[in-house]
Amino acid sequence: MHINILGPVSVATDGKRTGIQANKVRAMLATLALDAGRAVSHGDLADELWAGQPLGNTRNALQAHATRLRKALDDGRPPERGTAVLRAVRGGYLLDVPPGCVDGNRFLDLATRGAAALPVAPERAIELLQAGLELWHGPALLDAGDGLRCRGAAALFDERRLTVWEDLVRARLAAGEASRAVAELRRLVAEHPLRERFCELLMLALYRTGRQADALELFHATRRRLDEELGVRPGIVLQRRHTEILSQDPALSLSTVTAAT
């Protein structure tokens, strides 16, 4: 069994992905999946599902949602004795699965391993980082409700996804795949035009593929956008890259330049 939170919340068994129809049941699964293998208290679950709204009997309401969630997790089949995935424990509930059964945890593991491999084995880093990004099927915890835990976790996952994209294109540049990095970075810059790191990496990739003028034009376009939308100047890293490209710094052809911060 796998629990998916990198996109719509769902359960996958034997390769079959099944969504959770009821909003509160879906939010309960997402909250428990964020702490897979650890108990979540009744109070924390209630805060996540009802966000401070008055509720007559919290324990009964949670129990009703837990019953529906068990049916979804067991695919409608009664579990064998001692094999229930969702367990009631003292003061709360526990999703009794290894952390690796949750796609979010697998993604974080692949992201960490990929980042570690980048300086010494960029080709291996590409494999790991691509595998992590392929786990995504939409914004994290897309339909998990408005509880603070899930919204906070979603923001962290989405930010980590962007840093993994940064690491992936850095790995491509280090491995000599500048042309492919350009294609990926153009999309990322279009989607996140104010994220200077993507712009800086695209400038470098364009330079390495013989498009110095395009790299300089990208800098000026980004500078105008930052000024118009935020009233700020480009950061020191972006300005330094611009200067290096203007002077055709020989260091720009070295793979180590992608590690600049």
Q: Which domains, from first to last, does the chain contain?
A: 2-97 (1.10.10.10), 178-261 (1.25.40.10)
Answer whether 6's CB lies under 8 Å from 137's CB.
Answer: yes
Q: What is the pLDDT of residue 255?
A: 63
Q: What are the tens digits of pLDDT across the range 10-41?
A: 998 877 888 899 999 999 999 999 999 999 99
Order the strands of the 39-41 sheet from edge to edge. Answer: 39-41, 92-95, 86-89
Q: What is the mean pLDDT of the chain?
A: 91
Tell me how far apart the alpha carbons of residues 167 and 121 are, in angstroms, rounded to a whole number.
12
Number of CB atoms found within 10 A of residue 118's CB: 22
- Find out whether 103 and 135 touch, Cβ atoms under 8 Å: yes
- Exposed, middle or buried: residue 255 (CB in 10 Å: 0-12, 13-18, 19+)? middle
Look up residue 75 and give its two tokens: 């695919």
Query: Which residues partner with 73 through β-bridges?
Result: none
Question: What pLDDT, on the 0 to 100 scale, is given for residue 124?
Answer: 98
- Look-up of token digits 């400038």: 203
Residue 176, pLDDT > 50, answer: yes
User: Helices 212-230 and 196-208 sit at what angle, rounded to 10 degrees?
Assistant: 170
Query: How many residues can be counted in the chain?
Result: 261
For 59-111, what is each residue's pLDDT tens digit?
899 999 999 999 888 764 544 544 579 999 999 999 999 999 999 999 999 99
| Burial degree of 158 (CB within 10 A; 0-12, 13-18, 19+) | middle
Contact 216, 246 (CB under 8 A): yes
Residue 216 pLDDT class (50, 70, 90 cuts): very high
175: nearest Cα among 99, 114, 107, 217: 114
Helix residue ranges per DSSP H, the chain: 23-34, 42-50, 58-73, 103-117, 122-133, 148-174, 178-191, 196-208, 212-230, 236-246
The residue type at 56: G
Residues 127-150 have a mean pLDDT of 96
pTM (whole model) above 0.75: yes
